[in-house]
Amino acid sequence: MTRIRVGITDHAPPPFEVEREALGPDAELVFLNSRSALDFDPEILKTLDALLVWRASITGKTVDHLERCRIVVRYGVGYDAIDLSSLSQKGIPFCNVPDYGTEEVADTACAMLLGLQRNIGLYDVSSRYFKGSWQNQSSETPRLSSSSLGIIGVGRIGTALVNRMKPFGLKILGYDPYQPSGHEKAVGYKRFQFLDQMLPHCDLVSFHCPLTDETRGMLNASFLDKLKSGSILVNTARGGLLESFDVLEKALKEDWIRAAGLDVLPEEPPGSHPLIEAWRNREDWLEGRLWINPHLAFFSNQAWYEMRYKAAETVKLFFEHGILRNRIKE
């Protein structure tokens, strides 16, 4: 591979041991050190042959300055902050890394589903503050094997969740219009052609779809109206799937849903909202029913290494062999 100059936008400061391991000695790494496209030095952008993007947004103005750049790669899966149209117009391919934390995200979704369904959070609260009966059996607790799990998005992570939940004996339902015919037979779930038809059958729902114009805000009042009363929701996919905290607060307050587990939020970190304040203040009506994680479902030491290595390796594959691994087109 001829010597190339690779920019890294943000998040992981030098010395970039993992990236250097993947790229080899012929790569010069440049740290832009910002999540804001406004802070990127145009003169540095003009010199880059490739750009590795963490959490920064890539705007049309950023792309205008990428005079030498031949590839942009996102660390991770989501690309809603990337101006694909501008990249396409300039002839710069864009790739992501969709397969670095499959096990971790599926494990987190599984843990949230099981914990909320078995009322572990509620029982922890009742044990900590118990008055009267030690064994408080007032909470609704259906048998897990009599429940149905609906999975929205049965790709890599959704399939991994199917495999984890099968041994518990649940009936597993799936909605994913982008999987080929027969996918449900190979993986083992009941497929629904329309989401509206699946929701009334779900005791638990887990989201594993990307954030697109089609899916943005899909978890809204209309979605909840179609959902079976008393269901549990888990979202380890994208925060923007939830239309607003108002929708979730109403559903929890009115007991339309039993509980929710969120690894991702519409706003991260969350600002001030009545639902978030009730969660922070451990208000009685919400205690144990809303679990929030700081967008770390993907994380393990191994997944962190894998994500960084594969992102840099994608650059190397392109320059050495012309391979565009996991290319995303507009």
DSSP 112: H
Of 302, 25, 314, the C-alpha closest to 16 is: 25
Does the CA dihedral 148-149-153-157 come out positive or negative?
negative
**In Å, how far from its chain's centre is CA 152?**
12
Pairing assessment for the beta strands 148-152 and 4-8 based on DSSP bridges: unpaired
Outline where the chain has alpha helix (H): 17-23, 42-45, 60-64, 84-89, 102-117, 120-128, 156-165, 183-187, 195-198, 221-226, 245-253, 274-280, 301-321
Q: How many CB atoms lie within 10 A of CB 100?
A: 24
Q: Is 183 a catalytic residue?
A: no
Tokens of 141: 């607790």
218 and 161 in contact (C-beta within 8 Å)? Answer: no
Q: Is 308 a catalytic residue?
A: no
Q: Is 295 a catalytic residue?
A: yes
Catalytic residue among 65, 295, 325, 327: 295
Question: Which H or E run includes 292?
Answer: strand 290-292
Pairing assessment for the beta strands 190-191 and 204-207 based on DSSP bridges: unpaired
Catalytic residue among 268, 277, 320, 330: 268
Catalytic residue among 238, 258, 289, 308: 238
Of 226, 255, 260, 256, the C-alpha closest to 242 is: 260
Residues acting as catalytic residues: 238, 268, 295
